[in-house]
Every structure is written in C-alpha cells, then in structure tokens.
Amino acid sequence: MSRIIFLFFINIIIVISACSPNTKVGEKVPEVTRPQVVAAKKVADNMSAEHFPDKVEKVEKTEDEWREILTAEEFRILREEGTERPFTGKYWDNKKAGTYYCSACDLALFESKTKFKSGTGWPSFYQPIKKAYVGEKTDNKYGWNRTEVVCGRCDGHLGHVFDDGPAPTGLRYCINGNILTFKANE
C-alpha cells in the first residue's frame, strides 16, 4: 500500500513539473489583465490569422448550463481548472494542418503552424491566433507562481504559458488537448 501511495505522489510531481515554468518558489509573476472583449462577427472555419476579428463577444453561462453542454472531462478542465495526464489528451501528437478551437465556446485559439513538440505530453504552441483570444491570470497553486491561460470568450481554463518556448515569441502555451476541437484545413 505504501508503494502505491509513493507512486501516486511521484506521478503527481511529474505531472505538475512537466507543465511548470523555470521560476523559483516565491518569484513574482506579473499580474496580467484579461483582454476587454466586445461583440464581433462569427469566425469562419480555418481563416488565416489576419482575417480573425481582434475582439470577441464574451459568453457567460451558469455552472449548470456549462455542465449541460460540456463532457465531464471538459467541465473538469475548463470550469474547475483541472488538467489531463501527459500524453493522454487529444492532439498532443497531432501533426495535421488546421485550427484549434475552444470546446466550450468554439473560439479559434491556435493555428497548427504555431504548434511545436515540447516533450511535455500536452499540445504546445508559441502564440495564439490573436492575443485577445487567450487571457492570462496569475496562478499561485502548488507553491509557485505560474501564468494560467483562459479562453478569451468563455474564461475556460486552457492551461499555462511559460517563457521557455521557441522563436519567434519564446513562449510555450501548454494546453490541455481534451478541451480543444480541431478543424483540419481543407
């Protein structure tokens, strides 16, 4: 029994550290404000980034309304700030060209051309389609500071962003694949 408990805690440490930044405990992550959003036209499938609107209309629902439209796993991640185990979610190894959308509100978040292999077991991107599409907030859980990323339309938890990504941004958006919908380019 003690071996099972030990292995459980080792697994938790691996999951937390795989998607953690290179910051030290107590190191301050600057507070970033959420983007202000206003009404915009519906985004067509697989449009190039320059054709996406700069601002989006906010979607607000009660927790019961979210439970009705999301799977249990999507609700756990998006509404309760959960995470999937590494190498188990959808799209962590997807190499197809297309666009990744929020499963809750269908906002286009990332294009496949910004996806890269991070080795963490989660889909990783170096930039969102538009900055306003992905909000940021400080996450002080687990004893260190991280920057949580949320959907700019529905405020659903997507994952975290770190400063150890590739050029041109140097960022790594570490995103839960089970809360994404992928639409391949035609």
For residue 144, what are the β-bridge partners?
none
pLDDT, position 5: 57
Distances (CA, A) of 55 to 17, 23, 46, 74, 151: 33, 31, 17, 24, 12
Model confidence pLDDT, tens digit, residues 52-64: 777 788 999 999 9
Tokens standing for residue 138: 């400080």
Tokens standing for residue 137: 């907030």
0.95 surpassed by pTM? no
Tell me the catalytic residues: 174
Does the pLDDT value for residue 8 go beyond 80?
no
Q: Residues 156-160: what's their mean pLDDT?
A: 96
Q: Residues 84-90: what's their mean pLDDT?
A: 92
Reduce the DSSP state of residue 48 to 3 states and report it. Answer: coil
* Domain boundaries, position 20: 2-184
Does the pLDDT value for residue 86 go beyond 80?
yes
Is residue 135 within 8 A of residue 35, CB to CB? The reply is yes
Does the pLDDT value for residue 26 go beyond 50?
no
pLDDT, position 55: 79
Percent of the residues in the chain that have a pLDDT greater than 70, as a whole number: 73
Q: Residues 139-144: what's their mean pLDDT?
A: 78
Is residue 173 within 8 A of residue 124, CB to CB? The reply is yes
Model confidence pLDDT, tens digit, residues 161-171: 999 999 999 99
Is the model more confident about 1 or about 126?
A: 126
**How many domains does the chain divide into?**
1
Average pLDDT taken over every residue of the chain: 80
The domain that holds 19 is classified in CATH as: 2.170.150.20
